[in-house]
Structure 1
Amino acid sequence: MVPALTAGFPVQARLAKAELDKVAVTPEPGARAPLALPVTDASADRATSLGAVLDGHPALLLPVDYTCGNVCDPMIGLSADALAATGLRPEDRRLILVGIDPKDDTATARARIAAVWGDRPGGPAILVAGAKEIGELTGDLGYRFTYDRSTDSFAHPAAALLLTGDGRLARVLSPLALDGKDLRLALAEAGEGRVGTLSDRLALLCYGFDAAKGVYAPLIGRILVVSGVVTVAAIALLITALIRVRRRQEISAGGA
Structure 2
Amino acid sequence: MPEVPRTDRRDRAVRGAASILALAFTLLCGLTPAQARLTRAEMSAVAVAPPPGARAPTDLAFVDAASGRPTSLGAAMGNRPALLLPIDYTCGNVCDPMVSLSAAALRATGLRPGDDLRLVLVGLDPRDGPDAARALLARDGTGEALGEGVRALVGEQGTIDRLTGALGYSLTSDRETDAIAHPAAALLLAPDGRLARVLSPLALIGRDLRLAVVEAGESRIGNLADRFTLLCYGFDAATGMYTPLIRRILTGAALLTILAIAGGVLILARMSRRAV
Count of residues in correspondence between the two structures: 193
Contact 1:165 1:193 in 2 (8 A): no
Of 80, 86, 111 in structure 2, the residue corresponding to residue 88 of structure 1 is: 111
Greater RCO structure (CA 8 Å; 6+ sep): 1
Confirm whether residue 19 of structure 1 aligns to residue 45 of structure 2: no
State the alpha-carbon separation in 1 of the partners of residues 237 and 162 from structure 2: 20
Give 3-state SS (helix, strand or coil) of 1:92's partner. coil
Q: Provide the aligned C-alpha RMSD in A.
A: 2.2
Matched with 2:134 is 110
Change (3 A) 1:72 1:66: same
Mapped partners of 2:94, 2:204: distance in 1: 15
Quick one: distance in 2 between partners of 1:89 and 1:141?
26
Are the aligned partners of 1:161 and 1:173 in contact in 2 as well (CA < 8 Å)?
yes
Residue of structure 2 in register with 1:137 after alignment: 163
* 1:27/1:198 contact within 8 Å kept: no
Match status 1:44 vs 2:67: yes
1:154-183 deviation digits (Å, cap 9, x = unpaired): 000000000000000001000011111111
**Amino acid aligned to 1:29:** P
Q: Which runs of 5+ in 1 are unaligned?
A: 1-7, 203-256
Return structure 1 stretches of 4+ with deviation > 6 angstroms: none
Question: TM-score by structure 2 length?
Answer: 0.66
Question: Which residue of 1 is the match for residue 211 of structure 2?
Answer: 185
Counterpart for residue 208 of structure 1: none
Partner amino acid, structure 2, of 1:161: L
Once residues 190 and 51 of structure 2 are traced to their aligned partners in structure 1, the CA distance between those partners, rounded to angstroms, is 16
Displacement of 1:197 in angstroms is 7.2
Q: Could you tell me whether the CA contact under 8 Å between 2:31 and 2:179 is conserved in 1? A: no
- Residue in 1 that maps onto 2:197: 171
Q: Is the 8 A contact 1:78 1:178 kept in 2?
A: yes
Would you say the 8 A contact 2:101–2:202 is kept in 1?
A: yes
The amino acid that maps onto 2:214 is A
After TM superposition, give the deviation of residue 9 of structure 1 in Å.
4.0
C-alpha contact (below 8 Å) 1:60/1:96 kept by paired residues = yes
In terms of mean alpha carbon deviation, does 87-96 or 58-67 score higher? 87-96
Q: In the superposition, relative to structure 1, how do residues 146 and 12 fare at CA in structure 2: closer, same or farther (>3 Å)?
A: same
Deviations 1:13-64 (A, max 9, x none): 2111110000010001100000110010011100011111112100100000
State how far apart, in whole Å, the 1-side matches of 2:216 and 2:158 are. 28
